[in-house]
Amino acid sequence: MNGVCVPGFDRLLDFMETGWQGNGSEIIYGVWPDFRLAYFNEGWVRFARENGGAPWLMSPECLGRSVLEVTTPELRPFYRELFTRAITTVTARPYSISHEYECSSAEIYRKFAMLLFRLKGGQGLLIANSLVVEMPHTVRGTVPVEPSANSAPYHNEHELVIQCAACRRIRHQQLEGRWDWIPAWVSQPPERTSHGLCDLCMSYYYPAKG
């Protein structure tokens, strides 16, 4: 399997028992049981480059660092539990766990499917991310909102804008439960931006709390 790999992890990939064959376009990475990055493919580099990722994400410098570092704090508990469950789950199917998530740009709605493969003896995970839906937000029916000169409705009492860490919508501070899609702020969030989870994403990622 082509890519950049730390010594020792390659033997787990050589002896993968899943029989899975990707289509070549997936974003694939591998982690040790403590979530340290041990492998990534060209798809990982391509996605980071196309989405403004930090330079260290596109070099071997990122190996050995926890993948949770590039996950927003609001979603770290979810992914920590997901990865742990995948490492400890033995099934008859090729992959241990699957998960779908949104990763949209300002103009394009994108949904990915994540397959988590438990490597030999639970010594690590191989994680493959495939694009399953891609369409302009306008085709999907999302109504964009353009921030006006008066953006006060989106600032809380601390003058912070709250963006959903998952779907990237912006919380309307004056209308309870309303989160707006503001393309300009997806491309370039205001300087004073904090993060949370909208009601829909909260119920998806943490159903017991939603």
Summarize pLDDT for 74-125 with one digit per residue, the tens.
Answer: 999 999 999 999 999 888 776 788 999 999 999 999 999 999 999 988 999 9
Question: Does residue 196 share a domain with residue 104?
Answer: no
Q: 160-192 pLDDT, tens per residue? A: 999 999 999 999 999 999 999 999 999 888 889
145 in a structural domain: no
Question: Which pLDDT does position 16 carry in this prediction?
Answer: 59
Together in a domain, 160 and 134: no
Q: Specify whether 75 is located in the same domain as 32.
A: yes
The confidence band for 23, taking pLDDT boundaries of 50, 70 and 90, is low
Question: 164 burial class (0-12, 13-18, 19+ CB within 10 angstroms)?
Answer: buried
112 and 166 housed in the same domain: no
Last residue of a domain, one of 110, 138, 166: 138
Does this model's pTM top 0.85?
yes
Nearest by Cα to 123 from 206, 11, 210: 11
Q: Are 125 and 166 found together in one domain?
A: no
- Within-domain flag for 107: yes
Report the alpha-carbon distance of residue 56 to residue 69 in Å, rounded. 12
CATH number for the domain that contains residue 30: 3.30.450.20
Q: Tell me: do 133 and 164 sit in the same domain.
A: no
Residues 9 and 113 in one domain: yes
Environment class of 201 (CB within 10 Å of its CB; exposed 0-12, middle 13-18, buried 19+): buried
Residue ranges in 66-171 assigned as alpha helix (H): 76-88, 137-140
Q: What angle do CA 84, 163, 138 make, to 5 degrees?
A: 100
- Looking at residue 147, its pLDDT comes to 74
Tally of structural domains, the chain: 2
Specify if 147 maps to a domain: no
Asked if 36 and 134 sit in the same domain, the reply is: yes
Q: For residue 184, give both structure tokens.
A: 């300009």
Question: Is there a single domain that holds both residue 32 and residue 96?
Answer: yes
Structural domain containing residue 196: 152-205
